[in-house]
Structure 1
Amino acid sequence: MTTHGSEGMGIQQDANFPFSFSSAINLPGFNLGLAEMLDEADDFLFVMDPQGRVLSFKARNGSGLSLFTPSRLMVRDMMPIRARQKFVQALDQVTNGNRFAMFEAMLMLPEKGAAWYEFRLFPTIDHHLVLFIWNINDYKNISSTISNIPFSIEKMIKGWSHALYLRDFETEDHTRRVVTMTMRLAARLGVPEQEMLHLRRGGELHDIGKIAIPDRILLKSGALDEEEWRVMHRHPIIAIDLLTSVPHLGRSLEIPRSHHEKWDGSGYPDGLTGEHIPLSARIFAFADVYDALTSDRPYRRAWSQVDALQYIRKQSGRHFDPSIMPVFIDMLSGG
């Protein structure tokens, strides 16, 4: 069996998402601006062609999620003038080779009033553009009173996590579970306290490279074919491309890059073997694969804990570090 963490998950849609504009987006007279739309949603994620024409967009309102496919929206036309100018500059940066561009803007919403939003723009592998917009009022309120580098890193991580959640609606719960399990396993292994922060951050960012995977692969409801796996296998390197410019992440990048490496050298992207694989990634691999096996997929039902642990035992010395194996099995067996 091939196991790849949370890869190959299908999209989940909420048919009851309470948008008053949901039935109007394809009408000729539809002209809602971004401010009006943000009055009804917390976050937006637009997938666009290279000219900025919207191919689809997703929105989150509390726990409600929905996907829309309008036919005639241009993102720049929806934005207030100041945000539009910044968007055009960001578009130029990405078009000229930047891995992503980011800016902030205060928007005046008709109902909610003044609010700060962050915009992150980045390309996908198939040359589409993705624009993620999220409310950062809470972060602006705190940053106006303190100057805190760790706080800025947490904001960066939270933003990417929200964006990936809107790209693939299943990832948030998976990430929460695997981070919790990784931290438990690391504690049992006696990982020093100062390293635990890197483990948590790395776990939260482990699949962030999937944000640039084309929808036809990322959201496919069935198993991926060989060509699609080749594309999916690029996500660890994409993650590093996105995150290396973020100051002070350092060791936290070990998991995003190396969590698909295998003890026997058959993993990716670098084909590392044994203890050449960072310890953090070796620990994380147990949680990632276990969660994948015990979660439903569109093409198979979740495995039982017994079957999942039996599979993981068989992969000792192949996929997994054999010295960590008994600690993980004992932890999940209630020891």
Structure 2
Amino acid sequence: MEGDMVYILATSIIFQIAAAVCAFKLIKTTGNFKAWTAISIAIALMAIRRSITLYQLVTGNPSIEPDMTAELVALVISALITVGVIWIFPIFDSIKKVNIALQKSNRALKTLSECNQSIIRISNEADLMQEICRVIIEVGDYQLAWVGFAEQDREKNVRPVAQYGFEEGYLEQAGISWANNKRGKGPTGTAIRTGKPSIARFILTDPNFTEWREAALARGYESSIALPLFTNDKTFGALNIYASEPDAFDDAEVKLLTELANDLSYAINAIRIRHEHEQAEEQISQQAARIKALLQTASRLNAQLDFDTVLRAVCEETASAMNVSAAWINLYDSEREEYTYAAGFGLPSEFGLNYQPPPRKLVDQIASRFTMVIPDVQALSEMPNAKLCASLKIRTIAFAILQREGQVIGLLSVPVFGEVHTFSQNELELLQGLSNQAAQAINNACLFTKAQRRFEQLNTLREIDIAITGSVDLRVSLSVLVEKLTAQMNVDAAAVLLLNPNSQILNYAAGNGFFTTALKNTHLRVGDGLAGKAALERRVIHIPDLTQEETDFQRSPQLRSEKFISYFAIPLISGGQLKGILEIFNRQKFEPNSEWLHFMETLAGQAAIAIDNTTLFDNLQRSNTDLVIAYDNTLEGWAKALELRDQETEGHTQRVTKMTEQLAREMGVDEVKITNVRRGAILHDIGKISVPDNILLKPGPLNEKEWEIMRKHPVYAYELLSTVEYLRMALDIPYCHHEKWDGTGYPRGLKGEQIPLVARIFAVIDVWDALRSDRPYRKAWSEPQALAYIKEQSGKHFDPVVVKNFLEMYGKMIG
């Protein structure tokens, strides 16, 4: 009895100690200090009380005799308490882990929210990245946050551009790279290189963090994450976050932080795009202002003809456009090789009187040294007119050399008084533009007229070129040529004579601007007349005044009525071959310049090329037509030879070909495909050429083995024709005309619409003609018999739709 009591007490004590220990651990797990401390103490006191009782019982001096029933109940209760505490411990541990995860997620979510607010609020890239780092530290309670950009240098360094938190020189010492080496193996380099988040969950043991472990641990960094930043699917940097606890970034937090990095990427890209747009708008605004100033200057200069007025206008417009108070212009004296003062604006009269012309050599040296701007004139005592500029307190001078057609003609200068001034690139570009305007102003009207004339010529040439290349009819192209000449090139009349290379006769081809039809009957032998002479000598013939020359134009009454004065005959030559003559007439004296003559020769060359190309095209078309006819005649010869060998009814191939074409058209077969339908019908039995005579010409019925050979003739047709490229599109009928709608035909047993439409059409026509023709073994069927058979085989041998269309067509033929 006493031994049982000892066992019960000892067991109760063990259970109670275990329960007390578990209850004590739950203090940390649950964070509820008071409750679990009281429970663990109470359980411990129970264990102590029973330990005392057990001790007294073992030593034989119990102060109170323990009750067996009570102790058994206590044992059961102790066991239940122990089991309950042990059972509940994992639940509270899981709850703790969930709470920690929720805290992390909430932390990341709050950080994301605050960062998004910053993204909305801040429009400066550097300020935004710094603010994001600050929010990550202060709101997210991390140790360090920084943004690094991937440099495109040889070492592929990562350059920190923003950071916040406990850093103490860590980034300066880190030397992080995104190259695939030991300095690029860390989270930052890996994230940039792979475009995916990279996490160092345990910096203490992470093998990829060896390079930075000591410095990181010294600053309390236990784990870190690097999140890639993207632009146009290309990684340009990384957002890096360091935490003070190991394994600080769970999946949910990583997901939210990745979203933060993506938002930051988007914001940086948006800021950059906005900045680029602002820069572009600024550039456009500056360019617009520059263009406006240039246009205003050009407008004024182009309206001036007087040389001195132009010079003054240049100075005034330059000062106004550059927003300065003065400007002057020098002209280059090529004999003396110096720049003389020519005009000024906003300068006292003594400036021009006392100005010493600088030599070109010195100006070139200054221009190569300072590139349009002398920053401080007073610092260059050796510069010509330095004392003069000092007396007027001129400190900075911007200048541009005036050039026209590669020749230096002067110097345009803009002074700034009283202070050293920095000219912007836009201002210098404006000055250069103004100098260009000034250089061209003297001869501007002449240049404009010349440019306008050239534009009209080029436009005429382009229109003629479009007309020529857009037509394969030579007479249409030549008609457009002479029409454009008379309409746009100050020509009263024009005609084209084409050379017949065989007869060496020049024949009228096209003309415009004539009052009579006399020239339409022109047939000149090479060497005769002005056009014939130009053809023979292959050179331009020009008659300034036809009234003073004894020519055919004066001998013909009709041509005299045209009242032509000036005449040109221009040979049309392409590839060294004479193609014809272009004749140009004017009813008044016309002495063109070399530019007009050059343009006409160019136009004549274009016309000659058009004639050559059209002739080649016509010859090619004719050759192609002849070739097609030859091909088709060859096919018909094959078919005729096969009819003779097969002892077919004469004309069978021609009849079935004609009816097949007709029915194909009735059923909407494209006209382009009709050619292949005709060729296929002609060659429908070409495969029989490979069938031995003893089978093909056998007077009696064929046995099964002979039929097997006979049924191969569509395959023989395929093998024969498929090697001929231009007949491949015609294979449907020779290969498939023995197939049947119900699938019982040969050679492949095709069924229904698996059979090509043209083969289904031909099958009906072929059987119809065979039934209506006499054969050695039977007389031709009557029309009712043949029609009845065709109808009866609809849906079996023949396509019902084809039968229906055949019957309708046949009804029209006999109706």
Equivalent residue runs for 1:288-307 within 5 Å: 288-307=766-785
Aligned to 2:709, which of 211, 218, 231?
231
Distance in 1 (CA, whole Å) between partners of 2:728 and 2:634 is: 14
Name the structure 1 match of 2:471.
Answer: none
- Give secondary structure in 2 for the equivalent of 1:248: helix
Distance in 2 (CA, whole Å) between partners of 1:146 and 1:301 is: 46
Q: Deviations over 1:304-324 (max 9, x none)?
A: 111111111111111111112
Distance in 2 (CA, whole Å) between partners of 1:296 and 1:228 is: 24
* CA-CA distance at 1:273 after TM superposition: 0.7
Distance in 1 (CA, whole Å) between partners of 2:701 and 2:808 is: 32
Name the structure 2 match of 1:318.
Answer: 796
Q: Deviations over 1:170-224 (max 9, x none)?
A: 2651111111111121122122211111110000000001112111121122333
Determine if contact 1:237/1:257 at 8 Å carries over to the other structure: yes
- Give secondary structure in 2 for the equivalent of 1:324: helix
Does 1:332 pair with 2:810?
yes
Does 1:248 pair with 2:726?
yes
The letter for the 1-side match of 2:774 is: D
- Give secondary structure in 1 for the equivalent of 2:734: helix
Q: Report sequence identity in percent.
A: 53
* CA-CA distance at 1:152 after TM superposition: 5.1
- Give secondary structure in 2 for the equivalent of 1:309: helix
Bigger Rg, which one = 2
Of 219-228 and 268-277, deviating more is 219-228
The letter for the 1-side match of 2:769 is: D
Equivalent residue runs for 1:101-116 within 5 Å: none
Equivalent residue runs for 1:7-18 within 5 Å: none
Distance in 2 (CA, whole Å) between partners of 1:158 and 1:324 is: 26
Distance in 2 (CA, whole Å) between partners of 1:224 and 1:169 is: 16
Name the structure 2 match of 1:257.
Answer: 735
Distance in 2 (CA, whole Å) between partners of 1:322 and 1:175 is: 24
Distance in 2 (CA, whole Å) between partners of 1:306 and 1:237 is: 34
Aligned residues: 193
Distance in 1 (CA, whole Å) between partners of 2:693 and 2:809 is: 37
Name the structure 2 match of 1:285.
Answer: 763
Does 1:173 pair with 2:651?
yes
Give 5+ residue unaligned stretches, structure 1.
Answer: 1-141
Determine if contact 2:639/2:653 at 8 Å carries over to the other structure: no
1:295–1:226 CA distance, 2 compared to 1 (3 A): farther
* CA-CA distance at 1:293 after TM superposition: 1.3
1:165–1:312 CA distance, 2 compared to 1 (3 A): closer
Distance in 2 (CA, whole Å) between partners of 1:246 and 1:290 is: 30
The letter for the 1-side match of 2:651 is: D
Q: Deviations over 1:39-60 (max 9, x none)?
A: xxxxxxxxxxxxxxxxxxxxxx
Name the structure 2 match of 1:78.
Answer: none
1:300–1:171 CA distance, 2 compared to 1 (3 A): closer
How does the TM-score come out when normalised to structure 2? 0.23
Distance in 2 (CA, whole Å) between partners of 1:298 and 1:172 is: 13
Q: Deviations over 1:239-292 (max 9, x none)?
A: 111111112222211100000001111100111111110011000011001111
Distance in 2 (CA, whole Å) between partners of 1:161 and 1:325 is: 26
- Give secondary structure in 1 for the equivalent of 2:801: coil
How does the TM-score come out when normalised to structure 1? 0.54
Distance in 1 (CA, whole Å) between partners of 2:650 and 2:675 is: 19
Distance in 2 (CA, whole Å) between partners of 1:218 and 1:156 is: 23
Name the structure 2 match of 1:183.
Answer: 661
* CA-CA distance at 1:151 after TM superposition: 4.0
* CA-CA distance at 1:160 after TM superposition: 2.2
- RMSD of Structure 2 on Structure 1 (CA): 2.3
The letter for the 1-side match of 2:723 is: S
- Give secondary structure in 2 for the equivalent of 1:220: coil
* CA-CA distance at 1:328 after TM superposition: 0.8
Q: Deviations over 1:132-181 (max 9, x none)?
A: xxxxxxxxxx99x8356534532542342243134223265111111111
Determine if contact 1:223/1:299 at 8 Å carries over to the other structure: no
Determine if contact 2:649/2:775 at 8 Å carries over to the other structure: no
Determine if contact 2:657/2:682 at 8 Å carries over to the other structure: yes
Distance in 2 (CA, whole Å) between partners of 1:321 and 1:300 is: 26
Aligned to 1:196, which of 674, 684, 702?
674
1:151–1:176 CA distance, 2 compared to 1 (3 A): closer
Distance in 2 (CA, whole Å) between partners of 1:298 and 1:162 is: 19
Aligned to 2:623, which of 132, 135, 146?
146
Name the structure 1 match of 2:635.
Answer: 157
Distance in 2 (CA, whole Å) between partners of 1:165 and 1:288 is: 14
1:162–1:311 CA distance, 2 compared to 1 (3 A): closer
Q: Deviations over 1:1-34 (max 9, x none)?
A: xxxxxxxxxxxxxxxxxxxxxxxxxxxxxxxxxx
Determine if contact 2:649/2:773 at 8 Å carries over to the other structure: no
The letter for the 2-side match of 1:225 is: N
Determine if contact 1:254/1:280 at 8 Å carries over to the other structure: yes
Determine if contact 1:210/1:218 at 8 Å carries over to the other structure: yes
Distance in 1 (CA, whole Å) between partners of 2:708 and 2:802 is: 29
- Give secondary structure in 2 for the equivalent of 1:146: helix
1:153–1:174 CA distance, 2 compared to 1 (3 A): same
Distance in 2 (CA, whole Å) between partners of 1:214 and 1:254 is: 24
Distance in 1 (CA, whole Å) between partners of 2:685 and 2:737 is: 9
Determine if contact 1:222/1:298 at 8 Å carries over to the other structure: no
Does 1:208 pair with 2:686?
yes
Q: Deviations over 1:84-112 (max 9, x none)?
A: xxxxxxxxxxxxxxxxxxxxxxxxxxxxx
* CA-CA distance at 1:228 after TM superposition: 2.1
Distance in 1 (CA, whole Å) between partners of 2:697 and 2:801 is: 36
- Give secondary structure in 1 for the equivalent of 2:725: coil
Give 5+ residue unaligned stretches, structure 2.
Answer: 1-618
Determine if contact 2:721/2:728 at 8 Å carries over to the other structure: no
Of 258-267 and 320-329, deviating more is 320-329
Distance in 2 (CA, whole Å) between partners of 1:201 and 1:174 is: 14
Determine if contact 1:163/1:211 at 8 Å carries over to the other structure: no
The letter for the 2-side match of 1:253 is: L
Equivalent residue runs for 1:77-96 within 5 Å: none
Distance in 2 (CA, whole Å) between partners of 1:147 and 1:199 is: 20
Determine if contact 2:739/2:750 at 8 Å carries over to the other structure: yes
Name the structure 1 match of 2:279.
Answer: none
Distance in 2 (CA, whole Å) between partners of 1:151 and 1:245 is: 20
